[in-house]
Structure 1
Amino acid sequence: MNDEQLQVVMGLIMNAGNAKAEAVAALTAAKEGNFILAEEKMIAANEALVEAHNVQTGLLTAEASGDHTTVTLLMVHSQDHLMNAISYLGLTQELIDLYHRLDSK
């Protein structure tokens, strides 16, 4: 893996990690009844997730164009971070909706 590929993979890990961290903060806010903050944090989480997804799309586009990347443990790790973030954000939004529903009763 060359330096450019390493930078791309680390960007994927960083953005996916940021997305999950914002979602954790959103869930904490919802548990405390602060749904405005929860929504703001989920917006930030989704923005970071889009950045991570854009990095992944760049990798896929390069691969499809014939620019093959060596699959390393770090590359696999970055994809794992992204998939976990996607799953976590989806579940977090469901939980926030549930907290909001319970709070309104």
Structure 2
Amino acid sequence: MSNEEILDELEMVVFGIVGHAGEAKGYAYKALALSEDGNFAEAEEMLKKCEEAVLKAHHIQTDLIQKEAGGNIMTITMLFVHAQDHLMTALSERELIKKMIKQNVRILELEKKLILK
């Protein structure tokens, strides 16, 4: 494989990870917004879409790890580091947003109790 082919492949990997990670973050934030309006079923659907996008990014990452374990060492570029940063941020934000949605469920339940008094 030529250097140009390797860089082209790396570019596709980078854009794949960044794209799927960005998609995951978008779904997570949409889920949070829906939960703030009490639309918990729709929020859950957005979280499922978030998980699917994260899985796609993770599969790209896993493929790279397997290639490297097989002896095909990839050149690490700032773009690749940037892609990894996007993925890790998406994972972190997903977990935080899941907790925030649980809090929104509790807040809504408490608000309902207060209104009924």
Residue 45 (structure 2) pairs with residue 40 (structure 1)? yes
Residue 110 (structure 2) pairs with residue 90 (structure 1)? no
Q: Which amino acid aligns with 1:46?
A: E
Aligned Cα root-mean-square deviation (Å): 0.9
Structure 1: runs of 5+ lacking an equivalent: none
Give TM-score scaled by structure 1 length.
Answer: 0.96
Larger Cα-atom Rg: 2
Structure 2: runs of 5+ lacking an equivalent: 1-5, 111-117
Cα deviation, residue 2, structure 1: 1.9
Residue 68 (structure 2) pairs with residue 63 (structure 1)? yes
Picking from 24, 49, 58, the partner of 2:54 is: 49
- Runs of at least 4 residues of structure 1 off by over 4 A? none
SS in 1 for 2:95: helix
Cα deviation, residue 34, structure 1: 0.8
Cα distance in 2 between the residues matched to 1:66 and 1:94? 40
Paired-residue identity, %: 41
Give TM-score scaled by structure 2 length.
Answer: 0.86
Aligned length: 105
